[in-house]
Structure 1
Amino acid sequence: MLIDENRFGTYGIRFHDTSKKDTANIWSIGLEKQSSTTYDWDGRNRKEEDVYVFQYTLSGKGVIEAEGRLFVLKPGDGFFVHIPGDHRYYLPEYAEGPWIFIYITLFGTEAAACWHAIYEQAGMVVSIPKEKTVIQKLFHLYEQVQREEMTDMYTASARAYEFLMECRRYIYDMDAPRAELPPAILRALDYMASHYYETMGLEDCAQAAGLSKYHFNRKFREYTGLTPSQYITKQRIERAVELLHSTSFSVKEIAAKVGYADANYFHKVFRKYVGASPVELRKGEIIPPMDRLFIH
């Protein structure tokens, strides 16, 4: 893989009012090319505390040792580790050529939750195609930092949280029974999952699928059992439930994050699908309580 040398760099991000107890935030981010075996990180000897590294191989090969096992990291492989921790990742002596990778170091309660979710469901190393939204978001985040657009902790926290949610989405979707769906419907589902929080119409979804609006609407309902509008609402409400459970964002903020400019309308739709208001859900005033919701 060829990458412009000017794009390589490593950046630390610090704000005066940042707390390690934040929901999520960025500690550092980088795009690196390592050619020396002096590149060697042992999680047992690092000084950082309660941070989580996601590192994704773009070209070349590296190695991570953990739990008495050795994993060779090839292009498309990513790993998420807790620091401090019983692991070591490095460029081995037998490597042919440089190891090029992009990484992000995060902290906060949601970073911890994401690490545990990935570890429990997918293990230490996860294979992710580069074109997937989670990797594209990581590149976009890196570019924002490089352009010095991460000017306050609130922006950084929001971007960190978005990235973590894409990580969790990818892991949760890994086992979804989607192989039998036509490629056009899969393209539409990927588009809707990545843009659910934006203003989106039937024409946008049909274009992503590569079909006419009429043909797409009919095929989508045939294969999913939902109209495109119902599916988008499903995505938004399911994500709203996650945010209500795992963050301290206000209901109005959550409404905006999942694509509702009108908080009152969000409240109405939420109650229709969940059977309770967002506030009632957050306070645990519904029986049985829930921290995730699946709408089918």
Structure 2
Amino acid sequence: MATDTYADYFDFVVTDIDYVIQREPDPDWGVTSMVNSSSYILAYATSGLAHYRFAGREDLLVREGDVLFFPKGMAHSGHADEDRPWSFLSVAFDAVAGAGNLDEQLAVVDHLNRGSFASRLSAHFAELHLAWTQRKPGYLIRCRAITMTILHELIRQQTLPHLDSPHARELITVIELMRANYRQTYAVTDLAHRAGLSPSHFRALFKQFTGLTAKEYQHRIKIAKAKEFMLSGECNVTQAATRVGFADIYYFSRLFKKIDGRNPSELTRR
């Protein structure tokens, strides 16, 4: 089973649900240059067809089982197909990052998601609409949780490495080595040798596989582990830095701020 190479990158929670709506087929339905500045939008096509324009892409055909995602501020236009007007479920939500930049984290989610994994989200959208309309005690908590589940599935699908990728097993073995030995800092030549690849080939494949260089990936592993040590109360900043292999506390602090968005001392004051 593949390792989620972005495991330490995503850290956010859905905080508000503005609405959950179900639209029945209507050949006259359409929006023009719609921009929602206060909410993110997810929409699931339950039947029929629609035609969309967004992000420089013209006349995209949206069909049953597709999932649309529109970040805040993204202009989009669409209309129902005249012969087979679509029906859809949509949710408008807001979220906040626990660490890092939220928009950068959500940027991995495609605006148009298609395939068997997307169509499998049908039950989640149906459950979300039911919870919203029934409004039983705790429904807002339930709606936030379901929206988080949908986002998790979209992110997981688009960031989980596939075993049929070139040299995937070798790269996963290297990643597991770095995670298990987070105190160590491995040179690219060493990692390439362990993967049975030339350094240049390894660099290219690793970046394609994870979206990060090997050095950047090791830094994320180390910072995530240091964060655990500090939040648990087990270590102060200097101790955490030392335990994950940093001798220079000032470099560690700068790197922590760059990756996590906070100064490490903020975690030890809790």
Judged with a 3 Å threshold, the aligned counterparts in structure 2 of structure 1 residues 147 and 64 are, in CA distance, closer, same or farther, namely same
1:41 to 31, 47, 56: 31
Identity %: 12
SS of the aligned residue for 2:60 comes to strand
Post-superposition offset of 1:108: 2.4
1:164 is matched with which residue?
151
Distance (whole Å) between structure 2 residues aligned to residue 131 and residue 87 of structure 1 = 20
2:195 is matched with which residue?
none
In the alignment, does 2:35 pair up with 1:50? Answer: no
Q: 1:159-199: CA deviations, max 9, x gaps?
A: 433332222112213xx22459xxxxxxxxxxxxxxxxxxx
2:71 is matched with which residue?
82
Post-superposition offset of 1:133: 5.6
Distance (whole Å) between structure 2 residues aligned to residue 50 and residue 106 of structure 1 = 8
In the alignment, does 2:93 pair up with 1:143? Answer: no
Distance (whole Å) between structure 1 residues aligned to residue 225 and residue 57 of structure 2 = 48
1:116 is matched with which residue?
107
Judged with a 3 Å threshold, the aligned counterparts in structure 2 of structure 1 residues 23 and 90 are, in CA distance, closer, same or farther, namely same
- Larger of the two Rg values belongs to structure: 2
Judged with a 3 Å threshold, the aligned counterparts in structure 2 of structure 1 residues 55 and 131 are, in CA distance, closer, same or farther, namely closer
Aligned residue-pair number = 175
In the alignment, does 2:87 pair up with 1:100? Answer: yes
1:28 is matched with which residue?
19
The code of the aligned residue for 1:33 comes to: E
1:278 to 204, 224, 228: 228
Judged with a 3 Å threshold, the aligned counterparts in structure 2 of structure 1 residues 100 and 131 are, in CA distance, closer, same or farther, namely same
What 5-or-longer segments of structure 2 have no aligned partner? 1-11, 166-171, 180-223, 242-251, 261-270
The code of the aligned residue for 2:125 comes to: L
Judge conservation of contact 1:114–1:168 (CA < 8 Å) in 2. Answer: no
SS of the aligned residue for 2:151 comes to helix
RMSD over aligned CA atoms reads 4.0
Distance (whole Å) between structure 2 residues aligned to residue 43 and residue 108 of structure 1 = 23
The code of the aligned residue for 2:147 comes to: A
What 5-or-longer segments of structure 1 have no aligned partner? 1-20, 181-223, 235-273, 292-296
Judged with a 3 Å threshold, the aligned counterparts in structure 2 of structure 1 residues 112 and 161 are, in CA distance, closer, same or farther, namely farther
Post-superposition offset of 1:150: 6.1
SS of the aligned residue for 2:61 comes to strand
Post-superposition offset of 1:54: 1.2
Q: Which has the higher contact order (CA 8 A, sep 6+)?
A: 2
Post-superposition offset of 1:73: 0.7
Judge conservation of contact 1:76–1:130 (CA < 8 Å) in 2. Answer: no
Post-superposition offset of 1:28: 1.1
